[in-house]
């Protein structure tokens, strides 16, 4: 059901927000294919072993990547320096997807925090 809800969330967005967030969704799923798509705090999210590890949202003038942890960005200060962010959200333009390499780093940090193992230790 949640995959369908995320489809609906994305379908309701105007372009280029829809395409940009679809690309982020595809990137997350390609990096963590066993992630369960879900809705968390009324926003699209991804869960691994019961832990929410990433999410995203669309706003009027920007998009946000949500790590579902207040300490992910602190571990990647240099990597996220180019993006406005708070402890809980990384903002990016509606027409510029986050680089895949950055998404991989964000997911790796969050997986290590939530599950004790990063991407390298996960089975393919």
Q: Where are the alpha helices (DSSP H) in 1-124?
A: 2-11, 17-31, 72-75, 77-80, 100-115
The full length of the chain comes to 124
The C-alpha atoms of residue 71 and residue 61 are separated, in whole angstroms, by 25
Gap between the Cα atoms of 37 and 84, Å rounded: 26
Residue 123 has pLDDT above 60, yes or no: no
Q: Check whether 66 has a pLDDT greater than 80.
A: yes
Question: Could you confirm whether domain 2-114 is CATH 3.90.1150.200?
Answer: yes
Q: Which is higher by pLDDT, 2 or 66?
A: 66
84-122 per-position pLDDT tens digit: 999 999 999 999 999 999 999 999 999 999 999 888 877
DSSP character at residue 13: S
Q: Report helix, strand or coil for 121.
A: helix
What does the block give as tokens for 90? 């990384």
How far does the chain reach from its first CA to its final CA, in angstroms?
25
- Mean pLDDT to the nearest integer, 64-79: 96
The pTM of the full predicted model, rounded to 2 decimals, is 0.94
Domain boundaries, the chain: 2-114
> In whole numbers, what is the pLDDT of the chain averaged over residues?
94
Check pLDDT > 90 for residue 27.
yes
């Amino acid at each position: 059901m949640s995959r369908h809800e995320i489809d609906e969330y994305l379908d309701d967005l105007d372009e280029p927000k829809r395409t940009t967030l679809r690309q982020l969704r595809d990137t997350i799923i390609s990096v963590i294919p066993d992630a369960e798509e879900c809705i968390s705090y009324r926003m699209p999210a991804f869960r691994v072993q019961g832990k929410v590890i990433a999410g995203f949202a669309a706003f009027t003038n920007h998009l946000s990547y949500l790590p579902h942890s207040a300490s992910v960005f602190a571990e990647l200060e240099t990597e996220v320096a180019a993006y406005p962010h708070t402890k809980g959200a990384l903002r990016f333009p509606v027409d510029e997807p986050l680089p895949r390499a950055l998404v991989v780093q964000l997911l790796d940090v969050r997986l290590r925090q939530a599950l004790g193992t990063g991407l390298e230790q996960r089975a393919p």
